[in-house]
Amino acid sequence: MTTDAQRAYRLIKDRIISLELAPGHVIQDTVLIGQLGLGRTPIREALKLLEAENLVVTVPRRGVFVSHISITDLQQLCEIRIELESLSARLAAQRATDDDLEALRACSDEHQLAQKDKVVMRLEADRKLHLALAAATHNRFLEAEIERFYDLSLRLWHLALDQVRPDDVSVASHCELVDAVLERDAERAASLMREHIRDFQLRIKAAM
């Protein structure tokens, strides 16, 4: 069952990632209470979780602010994601159940059907695929970390959204990656994931 704190966490996090709450924005409890229809306690619990994920920062005697992001963050996030997600792809190829493989096929199909002129739709499909791969590892600790660092990276996509083209969210690389997992080719899956994240890094760097 989802608690109020979990709901608050997800709702606030989505607003930060999409830049609805922009970097440097002052977060006010009273405003969020009115917007989310949740109490002060779950919102404060959610903000503590978001601070642990470096999405918000508390400044003594000033308040809570949305964390800033920069090109330096891109480099550091990609260093971590390359290692975590190549491991995820390798383990998914080794451990995925029939249900996991079906979920991955569905994610691949959704990615291919996402409208070519809709970057946001492609980003949503991209996130589902990365998380489906993480789920297929059957390692809850790895899955949690991948979601955490993916969402931090997704914030960078939104920061550069005006400069990003739909083709920058590659459909072909996702299809290759899913095929490698379906074929149980663990090393190829890991290699393709490394290439995929390096490509993401280059495209965002160029857009920023």
Q: What is the CATH number of the domain that holds 17?
A: 1.10.10.10
Checking DSSP bridges between strand 26-27 and strand 63-66, what pairing results, if any?
A: antiparallel
- In this structure, the answer to whether residues 61 and 120 fall within a common structural domain is no
Query: If you average pLDDT over every residue of the chain, what do you get?
Result: 89
89 and 143 in a single domain? The answer is yes
Q: The tokens of 177 are what?
A: 């990656």
Domain enclosing residue 162, as ranges: 71-207
| Rounded-to-integer distance, Cα 130 and Cα 23, Å | 25
Asked whether residue 152 carries a pLDDT value surpassing 80, the answer given is yes
pLDDT in tens, 60-90: 889 999 999 888 888 999 999 999 999 999 9
**In angstroms, how far is the first alpha carbon of the chain from the final one?**
40
What the block records as the tokens of 171 is: 């459909």
pLDDT, tens digit, 9 for 90 and up, residues 99-146? 999 999 998 888 777 655 577 777 888 899 999 999 999 999 999 999
- Based on the structure, what is the number of domains in the chain? 2
| 85 and 154 in a common domain | yes
CA pair distance 195, 192, nearest whole angstrom: 5
Q: Are residues 122 and 85 in the same domain?
A: yes
Using alpha carbons only, what angle is made at residue 135 by residues 179 and 73, rounded to the nearest 5 degrees?
Answer: 90
